[in-house]
C-alpha cells in the first residue's frame, strides 16, 4: 500500500470546544481549572451509531493539525500521509480526531492562555498537569462529540503514553489501541534529557520566572532545549548519513560558531522551533511525560490491562535509542500477561525516534490491516 498516492483530506480548519463545568476541572495532582478551551480537528464522517471514530494523540511538539492543509499552508499536517481517502486512516471509513493537549500552545488551554480570573496569561501560575489530565480532557471532547466508544486510539512517543493512559483509564471506551515508540514510564536517562532542556529554558534571562509574555521571550533557552531534544530523535547512522563531518563555508580558521553542517542544522531546528512553540508549554509537557507511570496507583500492569477487551498493536523502531525496543516489549509482555490479543511489529528503520513520523509506508500497511480487522470483528456500520 503506497499511501502517498492516495488522496489528502485537503483544506481543513481547527475547531474549538470550551469545557465549562459547574464544578472546577480537578487535576490529578491537586490543581484545578475553571474553564478549558480545546482545539481539535476532525477528518471524515461519523457513521450513524458513531462507532467509527479514531483518536490520534500527538507527541511533545505536535498539535491538533495532523492532516490536510490550513488555508495558505505550504506544508500539510504532521501525519498527513496517514490520513485521507485510501490511506491507513481511510476517511471513507473512519472519523479521525486529533486535539491539542492540555498545557499546549496551539489552541488548548495552557500557560500561554489568559487566566479569566486575572485577565493575564497563566505563566507559571498554571497548575502542574499529567498525561492523565490530558486524556481526561480528550474524554470530555469525545462526550461533546457524542462518541461513546473509540474504534481505536493511536499515538507515538508522548502520544503513545496517552494511548496507554486510555487503556488504563477508560478500558471500556476503546476497541483497539496502537501505542508507537513509547514507554510505560520514563527511565532516569529520559528524565535527565528533559531536565537539561528545562534548565536551558529557565537559565535564559528572558524567562523571568515564566512571566515573559508581552516581553522578550526566552528564545535562546528554548532553542537549546530543542537542539538537545532533536539529537535524541535521530539515530547515529541517520546523522552520519545526513551530515557526516561536512563543514559549512571555509574550513579555516575555526571559530566558536557553526563550523560543521550538523551544528548549522541544529541551530536551524532550534530557531524554527522558537517560532512555533511556547517555552512554558515545553516545561509543563516534558514534566508531564516524566511523571507518567500508569502503575502509580499501586495496581499492577496485569490488573490494569486485564480490564481491557481490546486488540493491541505495538510498533517500535530498531534504531530508536530514545525509546528503545525493550520498552515496547515490556508493553507487549504486560498486555499478553493480561490475556490481550497483542501484535508486536519492529520496523528496521534508520531514522531513530523520528521514524514514527517518517516511516509512512510500512506503518500504513501495518495500521491499515490492523484497523480493517478491528472494523470487521466489531461489525462497524459503513458510511451511507
Give a yes or no: residue 122 inside a domain: yes
User: Are 177 and 307 contained in the same domain?
Assistant: yes
User: Are 154 and 15 contained in the same domain?
Assistant: yes
Question: 227, 252, 287 — which closes off a domain?
Answer: 287
Give the span between the Cα atoms of 383 and 38, in whole angstroms. Answer: 27
Give a yes or no: residue 320 inside a domain: yes
User: Are 280 and 304 contained in the same domain?
Assistant: no
**Nearest-5° angle of CA 230, CA 236, CA 239?**
65
User: Are 160 and 269 contained in the same domain?
Assistant: no
CB 351 within 8 A of CB 127: no
Give a yes or no: residue 316 inside a domain: yes
pLDDT tier, 2 (very low <50, low <70, confident <90, very high otherwise): very low
User: Are 26 and 122 contained in the same domain?
Assistant: yes
Question: 287, 318, 348 — which closes off a domain?
Answer: 287
CB under 8 Å to 382, separation ≥6 — which residues? Answer: 47, 93
Query: Which one of 1-5, 249-253, 356-360 scores highest in mean pLDDT?
Result: 356-360
Out of 2-16, 46-60, 149-163, pick the least confident.
Answer: 2-16
What's the whole-number mean pLDDT along residues 294-305?
90
Q: What's the grid cell of residue 86?
A: 485510501
Domains held by the chain: number: 2
Give a yes or no: residue 383 inside a domain: no
User: Are 256 and 343 contained in the same domain?
Assistant: no
- 250, pLDDT greater than 80: no
What's the whole-number mean pLDDT along residues 206-222?
97
Q: Count CB-CB contacts under 10 A for residue 269.
A: 16
pTM value > 0.85: yes
User: Are 283 and 298 contained in the same domain?
Assistant: no
User: Are 179 and 46 contained in the same domain?
Assistant: yes
Give the span between the Cα atoms of 384 and 381, in whole angstroms. Answer: 9
Question: 287, 316, 344 — which closes off a domain?
Answer: 287
User: Are 54 and 156 contained in the same domain?
Assistant: yes
Instruction: Give the active site residues.
Output: 157, 320, 353
Residue bearing the bigger pLDDT, 21 or 52 = 52
Give a yes or no: residue 384 inside a domain: no
CB 107 within 8 A of CB 64: yes
User: Are 161 and 119 contained in the same domain?
Assistant: yes
Give a yes or no: residue 382 inside a domain: no
- 251, pLDDT greater than 80: no
CATH of residue 195's domain is 1.10.1740.110
Give the span between the Cα atoms of 256 and 359, in whole angstroms. Answer: 36
Range of the domain at 226: 190-287
Amino acid at each position: 500500500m503506497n499511501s502517498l498516492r492516495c488522496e489528502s483530506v485537503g483544506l481543513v480548519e481547527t475547531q474549538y470546544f470550551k469545557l465549562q463545568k459547574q464544578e472546577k476541572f480537578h487535576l490529578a495532582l491537586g490543581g484545578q481549572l475553571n474553564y478549558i478551551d480545546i482545539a481539535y480537528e476532525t477528518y471524515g464522517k461519523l457513521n450513524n451509531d458513531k462507532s467509527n471514530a479514531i483518536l490520534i494523540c500527538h507527541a511533545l511538539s505536535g498539535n491538533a493539525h495532523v492532516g490536510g492543509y490550513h488555508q495558505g499552508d505550504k506544508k500539510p499536517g504532521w501525519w498527513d500521509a496517514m490520513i485521507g481517502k485510501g490511506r491507513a486512516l481511510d476517511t471513507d471509513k473512519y472519523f479521525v480526531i486529533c486535539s491539542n493537549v492540555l498545557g499546549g500552545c496551539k489552541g488548548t488551554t495552557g500557560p500561554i492562555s489568559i487566566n479569566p480570573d486575572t485577565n493575564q496569561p497563566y505563566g507559571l501560575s498554571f497548575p502542574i498537569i499529567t498525561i492523565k489530565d490530558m486524556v481526561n480532557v480528550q474524554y470530555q471532547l469525545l462526550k461533546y462529540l457524542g462518541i461513546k466508544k473509540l474504534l481505536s486510539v493511536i499515538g507515538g512517543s508522548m502520544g503513545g503514553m496517552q494511548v496507554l493512559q486510555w487503556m488504563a483509564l477508560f478500558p471500556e471506551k476503546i476497541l483497539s489501541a496502537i501505542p508507537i515508540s513509547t514507554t510505560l514510564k520514563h527511565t532516569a536517562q529520559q528524565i535527565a534529557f528533559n531536565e537539561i532542556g528545562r534548565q536551558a529554558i529557565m537559565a535564559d534571562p528572558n524567562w523571568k520566572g515564566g512571566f515573559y509574555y508581552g516581553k522578550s521571550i526566552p528564545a535562546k533557552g528554548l532553542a537549546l532545549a530543542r537542539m538537545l531534544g532533536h539529537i535524541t530523535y535521530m539515530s547515529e547512522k541517520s546523522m552520519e548519513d545526513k551530515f557526516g563531518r561536512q563543514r559549512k563555508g571555509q574550513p579555516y580558521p575555526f571559530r566558536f560558531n557553526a563550523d560543521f553542517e550538523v551544528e548549522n542544522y541544529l541551530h536551524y531546528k532550534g530557531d524554527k522551533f522558537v517560532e512555533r512553540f511556547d517555552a512554558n508549554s515545553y516545561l509543563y509537557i516534558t514534566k508531564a511525560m516524566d511523571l507518567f507511570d500508569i502503575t502509580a496507583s499501586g495496581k499492577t500492569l496485569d490488573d490494569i490491562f486485564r480490564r481491557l477487551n481490546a486488540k493491541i498493536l505495538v510498533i517500535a523502531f530498531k534504531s530508536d535509542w530514545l525509546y528503545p525496543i525493550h520498552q515496547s516489549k515490556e508493553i507487549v509482555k504486560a498486555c499478553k500477561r493480561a490475556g490481550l490479543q497483542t501484535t508486536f511489529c519492529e520496523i528496521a528503520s534508520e531514522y531513530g525516534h523520528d521514524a514514527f513520523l517518517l516511516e509512512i509506508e510500512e506503518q500504513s500497511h501495518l495500521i491499515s490491516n490492523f484497523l480493517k480487522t478491528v472494523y470487521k470483528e466489531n461489525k462497524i456500520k459503513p458510511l451511507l
